[in-house]
Amino acid sequence: MPASSSQPSRNESIKHGDPTLGGTIAETIGDASVDRFGGDDEQFLKFHGVYQQDDRDLRKSGRRYQMMVRARLTGGIASPEQYLAFDELSDRFGNGTLRITTRQTFQWHGVLKGNLRPLIHGLNENLCTTLATCGDVNRNVLAPPTPTTDRLASQVQEDAGRVSEALLPATQAYHEIWVEGTRINLSKESGSAFVDPLYGRTYLPRKFKIAFAIPPRNETDVFANCLGFVAIADPADSSRLLGYNVLVGGGMGTTHGNQQTFPRIADALGFVPRERVVDVARAVILAYRDSGDRTNRRHARLKYVIEERGADWFRSEVETRAGFRLEEAREARFSGQGDIFGWHAQGDGRSFLSIFVENGRIADSEDRRLKSGLRGVIERFRPEVRLTAWQNIILAGIADGERDAVTALLAEHRVPVNGQAGAVRRAAMACPALPTCGLAIAESERVSPALIGRIEALLAELGAADEEITVRMTGCPNGCTRPFLAEIGIVGRTAGCYNILLGGSGRSDRLNREYRQGVALEEIIPTLRPVIARWISERTPAERFGDFVARVLWKEGAVPESPLAA
Ligand code: SRM
Ligand code: SF4
């Protein structure tokens, strides 16, 4: 066990001081003389889906405060009307872009304090909440977004919705502040008496994340979540959902130089029939609420409880709280991951179109007017919108006969439908990092497109132009694009320098290992060149880069065993 103070962390006393999570947010919104929120309110705001940031490009001339707002879109699904409203709100109150996140939702960046309430109010008017998308609660629930007429997929989406609803905090402060605009009527005394029926007075020790997945395609990186539900179909009828294998204890976040922190793949706990999936989710939340470390936030995630006390111990804690026993986990295998691009038949006379969105940023640029193109298509054809956990967008339910018209409209905005991007670019992700993220050490989203171009050029030069390698970049070791599952993880170490990790699988079920530390951005290609060249000349037929690294380099000791050496 790590040495940590026995005192609860500062965040614990902030939550304890006002369990309604309202703080003085309403008062600060009403005060036009200030451009920012105070310290405690910064923490409360997270539970409302808001991060206070400043534009780090402008920091030298003083801090310019702005907010990032994150929506809740369970399983990544939004109606066309919602999408159009999101788009309009980004122009009116944000920086004019929409950012698809690695957890299948949207973020608005660059929101000034005075625009915060109109934006969140506008989202709520469009039946979209931002409640509990950040903070020490359950976040946006992931579910496979690929449209299909298969009943099983829609049942899984339904269950994701039920779990998400059941785990929302009960405080009324969110509604009062953002929807009604009437907050301030909760006196401090009555506010401090509030206790959330599920989360208790101080909520969870830290953030909590849930994903659903349907084998054989791991669309949601299910093993990276605190709680994962892997759908198990009836062997005699693959469209009949029996229930789920329950996984616990996945997570990515680490801190450089802190050996107490590490990424972790979730363990299987057992199987639960479909009818009891919400009960298990609640029981896992309760068991974590009662056992997580509240003294050290860097050591507070569920993954550390599972690592230190074991899955067997945790299972019995969950069973005690659920009031029933989990069955033995069923056989379930993943053989692939990620998104499929272009047009596909749904099987009901309708089609869906998956569109590549580089690093999730929906914006217009000179060579690709993606934001306008999407708006045009969604206005005219009214498809359902689905966001993927790989930061891409799917337009679903388009009549087969309308495919050509959609393709043509997108082409007018220079958004291609076929050959949208190279194989490495399509599978790559980068986090926002600078200039918005307060925790960024190095660039990510702004440098990744050029870096991916250089990796693709290297592959072409070595005669492997169409090969896919997953490359995930982050500006710090918090792991927001889940880089520790990638075949090549590139993780910000210091300004302009990155750790390189190699050896993830093509199923997002194996952690990579650190290969080199503190490599300058311009040295990344020379560092990768010999390893990629070796893979191309020595691989077995169809062997992926990550599998080659694990089979050959790890055995040779060319990559140290610890996933993160320091
Ligand atoms: Fe993250 C913090 C962006 C997915 C691990 N993450 C942040 C913040 C809010 C920075 C902050 O606390 O001030 C970043 C805001 C940047 C910005 O300007 O937008 C941020 N995280 C993101 C997003 C937008 C990255 C993206 O490219 O899409 C993702 C939003 C997901 C969502 O919709 O909820 C995002 N973050 C993740 C993931 C991936 C996942 O959940 O599947 C992880 C790793 C999984 C995990 O949680 O272990 C992740 N983010 C973190 C951590 C490390 C937590 C830890 O255990 O140590 C932090 C830092 C923290 O919480 O203190 C963090
Ligand atoms: Fe910010 Fe780090 Fe997350 Fe990137 S990985 S968004 S730099 S917290």
Q: For the residues of 360-416, what is the DSSP string, one character each?
A: GEE-B-SS-BHHHHHHHHHHHH--EEEE-TTS-EEEEEEEGGGHHHHHHHHHHTT--
CA of 432 to the centre of ligand 1 (A): 10
What tokens were used for 532?
Answer: 């990629």
Chain Cα centroid distance, residue 437? 15
Annotation says 209 is catalytic: yes
Transcribe 127-194 into DSSP letters.
T---TTSSSSSB-PPB------S-HHHHHHHHHHHHHHHHTS---SHHIIIIII--TT-S-HHHHHT-
Judge if pTM exceeds 0.85: yes
Mutate which of 99, 102, 480 to test ligand 2's pocket (most atoms within 8 Å of Cβ)? Answer: 480
Q: In which band, very low, low, confident or very high, does the pLDDT at 183 lie, cut at 50, 70 and 90?
A: low
Nearest-angstrom CA–CA distance, 56 and 54: 6
Residue 78 contacts residue 397 (beta carbons within 8 Å): no
Residues whose CB falls within 8 Å of the CB of residue 549, separated by 6 or more in sequence, listed in order: 487, 502, 503, 512, 531, 535, 559
CB atoms within 10 A of CB 123: 25
Choose the catalytic residue: 70, 103, 425, 426.
70
Give the number of the atom of ligand 2 that is nearest the alpha carbon of residue 492.
7
* Rg over CA atoms, the chain: 23
Q: What is the pLDDT of residue 2?
A: 45
Q: Name which residue sits closest to atom 36 of ligand 1, judged by CA.
A: 480
Over 90: is that where the pLDDT of 559 sits? Answer: no
Q: What is the pLDDT of residue 566?
A: 37
Q: In which band, very low, low, confident or very high, does the pLDDT at 5 lie, cut at 50, 70 and 90?
A: low
Nearest-angstrom CA–CA distance, 488 and 482: 11
Phi and psi for 235 in degrees, rounded to 5?
Answer: -60, -25
Q: Is the CB of 359 under 6 A from ligand 2?
A: no
If you average pLDDT over every residue of the chain, what do you get? 95
Angle between helix axes 370-381 and 80-93 (nearest 10 degrees) is 140
For residue 126, give the amino acid letter: N
Annotation says 437 is catalytic: yes
Protein residues whose CB sits closer than 6 Å to any atom of ligand 1? 51, 68, 70, 101-103, 105, 107, 133, 139-140, 207, 209, 224, 251-253, 301, 360, 431-432, 436-439, 478-482
Q: What is the pLDDT of residue 188?
A: 54
CA of 108 to the centre of ligand 1 (A): 15
CA atoms within 13 A on the CB side of 217: 12
Instruction: Tell me the per-residue pLDDT of 148-177, one tens digit each, with 9 for 90 and over.
Output: 888 999 999 999 999 999 999 999 999 999
CA of 184 to the centre of ligand 2 (A): 34
Annotation says 555 is catalytic: no
Annotation says 70 is catalytic: yes
Sign of CA dihedral 12, 433, 436, 355: negative
Q: Is 491 strand, coil or helix?
A: strand
Over 70: is that where the pLDDT of 479 sits? Answer: yes
Choose the catalytic residue: 206, 437, 493, 513.
437
Residue 204 contacts residue 137 (beta carbons within 8 Å): yes
Residue 243 contacts residue 269 (beta carbons within 8 Å): no
Q: What is the pLDDT of residue 484?
A: 98
CA atoms within 13 A on the CB side of 83: 28
CA of 536 to the centre of ligand 1 (A): 34
Burial class (CB in 10 A: 0-12, 13-18, 19+), 538: exposed
What would the mean pLDDT of 24-38 be, rounded to a whole number? 95
Nearest-angstrom CA–CA distance, 418 and 403: 12
Give the number of the atom of ligand 2 that is nearest the alpha carbon of residue 476.
2
Annotation says 476 is catalytic: yes
CA of 148 to the centre of ligand 1 (A): 29
Instruction: Tell me the per-residue pLDDT of 263-300, one tens digit each, with 9 for 90 and over.
Output: 999 999 999 999 999 999 999 999 999 999 999 999 99
Choose the catalytic residue: 274, 294, 480, 516.
480
Choose the catalytic residue: 113, 294, 476, 513.
476
* Inter-CA distances, 337 with 146, 432, 501, 506, 561, Å: 12, 23, 19, 6, 25
Q: What is the pLDDT of residue 190?
A: 57
Share of the chain above pLDDT 70, in %: 97
Annotation says 431 is catalytic: yes
Nearest-angstrom CA–CA distance, 472 and 440: 15
Annotation says 207 is catalytic: yes
Choose the catalytic residue: 46, 113, 207, 350.
207
Instruction: Tell me the per-residue pLDDT of 298-347, one tens digit each, with 9 for 90 and over.
Output: 999 999 999 999 999 999 999 999 999 999 999 999 999 999 999 999 98
CA of 147 to the centre of ligand 1 (A): 26
Q: Is the CB of 474 under 6 A from ligand 2?
A: yes
Q: What is the pLDDT of residue 510?
A: 98
What tokens were used for 344?
Answer: 């596909």
Give the number of the atom of ligand 2 that is nearest the alpha carbon of residue 481.
5
Nearest-angstrom CA–CA distance, 297 and 261: 11
What tokens were used for 357?
Answer: 């969105």
